[in-house]
Structure 1
Amino acid sequence: MSSENVTLTAGDAEIEVRPGNGCRLESLRVGGVELLRQGERYGCFPMVPWAGRIRDGRFRNGGTTHQMPLNSPPHAIHGFARDAAWRTARAAKSEAAFTYDLTDPWPYEGRVTQIVELTEDSLTLTLGIETYGDSFPAQAGWHPWFNRNLGQDDVRIDFDAAWQEERGDDHLPTGNRIAPLPGPWDDCFGMPDGVDVTLTWPEQLALTVKSREQWVVVYDEQEAAVCVEPQTGPPNGLNTLPRLVTPIEPLETSTTWTWTRL
């Protein structure tokens, strides 16, 4: 097992995975065109053991309250596996698996696995969280930074959500579900039949992000990139909609991106 970069190829699609930098996809190129924003903090990283913000960095497990570091004051955001070194469990030409053992400041022992599978016209990412002992609440998801522009017109984001989680001044859901509002967005949307969002770079490429999960955060307030983040629960979900990882039931989730040339 190592933390050296891993390159996967299928047809004219190529991915670079950096396990030593949070197991993020550093690059996704289709026909030589880079789809992800470049930089140490960008690409596409897994959000574990939670996704989005935790209010004040605190969550409960039964009668115990835990405090996470406030890496986005006044909240904790996106987990910390994105800042950790993962290890490559296996790697072939178009598929690889990576692992990360949960450690301080997370108060529970467990392991996270990410599997990356590439074909000529699709990418499937799978995350699993298992416990080595006590059950604990967790979330998982992905935070891709797609380039807003691939050299011509800006990307268009299309989706049909059943609701939008109303966002408070603290950037967390208020608990109210409202009709989806027009962008720009830094918002969580509900899709009961599964996440289904299409990004279209006119006359170049259309890419569809799908997942069986019901929540997706769409963020398009930056000039350089847009984000479409499928995840297993809404922001602050460790408190409002916890999913328990138990010794007999790990948390497992996946997303598939499919692209076509225009």
Structure 2
Amino acid sequence: MSNDEITLAAGDAEVVLAPANGGRVRSLRVGGAELLRQGERYGCFPMVPWCGRIRDGMFRDGGTVHQMPLNAPPHAIHGTARNGAWRVACAERSEAVLTYDLVAPWPYPGRVTQLASLTDDALTLTMSVETYDSSFPAQVGWHPWFNRSLGGEDARLDFAPAWQEERGEDHLPTGNRIDPKPGPWDDCFGMPGGVDVTVTWPGQLELRVTSREEWVVVYDEQPEAVCVEPQTGPPNGLNTLPRLVTPIEPLEATTTWTWRRP
């Protein structure tokens, strides 16, 4: 099946997927308004097989230490799948399935599957990592770049995390949990009841980002966009909180973005 861009439609919502550009959601338009920052590296890309930064690009699996390319020196960031071409397994009017086979520099064979499902008022993304060979630690998550402005007032973020991961000078969690601090943020927060963050463009649109996962990174240090990133563990989690993918237990996560007009 062709790896050209795929357009999903439901009601007045339209989603464009870009399999060849890292399997990302390139565009999300609601009532004609583009919610995602445009550009080759923006939209919303899947973070897999890890999320955020790995300290010095190194992670340990048992007695073996693996080195990933330092694409955010001195660290490795956001996984490898966003740099690859994904395959289109299925594409319907409002739903599509993309797959990506993990390859070097990731040291383990595995397959990533991402399902995008659009309704009149929500986009649901589900991602899984499977292996039929060696078990390995992994993370999955999403990195959406929401436009800070839709032409009116800047977006406002509302969420009530249980804690904030203290951030060290190297931008990685120190391991201490602290009371949430006001932004701007490039920080990881804990939401044990599940990620629940509302992005409001006053007078225009309200978008709620939810997930059963309990980790979310919020990044709003750039003037053009705000990022709300649900993920299965904190930055550097391959080292500090590994989730093991095994032949009988894949790693799966889902996020839903639901919108409404005021």
Letter in 2 for 1:211: S
Letter in 1 for 2:169: D
Q: Which residue of 1 aligns with 2:2?
A: 2
What's the C-alpha RMSD, in Å, of the aligned pairs? Answer: 0.4
Q: Which residue of 2 aligns with 1:261?
A: 261
How far, CA to CA, are the matches of 1:107 and 1:132 in structure 2? 14
What percentage of residue pairs aligned between the two structures are identical? Answer: 75
Q: Structure 2 matches for 1:51-130, cutoff 5 A?
A: 51-130=51-130
How far, CA to CA, are the matches of 1:191 and 1:134 in structure 2? 31
How far, CA to CA, are the matches of 2:235 and 2:3 in structure 1? 30
Shift of 1:13: 0.1
Letter in 1 for 2:164: Q
CA distances 1:64-95 after superposition (whole Å, capped 9, x unpaired) = 11000000000000001001000100000000
SS at match of 2:226: strand
CA distances 1:117-145 after superposition (whole Å, capped 9, x unpaired) = 00000000000000120000000000000
How far, CA to CA, are the matches of 2:181 and 2:49 in structure 1? 29
CA distances 1:31-85 after superposition (whole Å, capped 9, x unpaired) = 0000000000000000000000000000011111100000000000000100100
Shift of 1:3: 1.2
Letter in 1 for 2:56: D
Q: Structure 2 matches for 1:162-201, cutoff 5 A?
A: 162-201=162-201
Q: Which residue of 2 aligns with 1:161?
A: 161
Gaps of 5+ in 1: none
CA distances 1:211-247 after superposition (whole Å, capped 9, x unpaired) = 0000000000000000000000000000000000000
Letter in 2 for 1:215: W
CA distances 1:127-186 after superposition (whole Å, capped 9, x unpaired) = 000012000000000000000000010000000000000000000000000000000000
Letter in 2 for 1:166: E
Q: Structure 2 matches for 1:13-28, cutoff 5 A?
A: 13-28=13-28
Q: Structure 2 matches for 1:219-258, cutoff 5 A?
A: 219-258=219-258
Q: Which residue of 2 aligns with 1:148?
A: 148
How far, CA to CA, are the matches of 1:175 and 1:2 in structure 2? 44
Q: TM-score, normalised by structure 2?
A: 1.00
Letter in 1 for 2:85: A
How far, CA to CA, are the matches of 1:91 and 1:146 in structure 2? 25
Q: What number of residue pairs does the alignment pair up?
A: 262
Deviation beyond 3 Å, 4+ runs, structure 1? none
How far, CA to CA, are the matches of 1:90 and 1:152 in structure 2? 37
Letter in 1 for 2:107: P
Gaps of 5+ in 2: none
Shift of 1:196: 0.2
SS at match of 2:20: helix
How far, CA to CA, are the matches of 1:181 and 1:131 in structure 2? 39
How far, CA to CA, are the matches of 2:223 and 2:39 in structure 1? 15
How far, CA to CA, are the matches of 2:71 and 2:261 in structure 1? 39
Q: Which residue of 2 aligns with 1:208?
A: 208
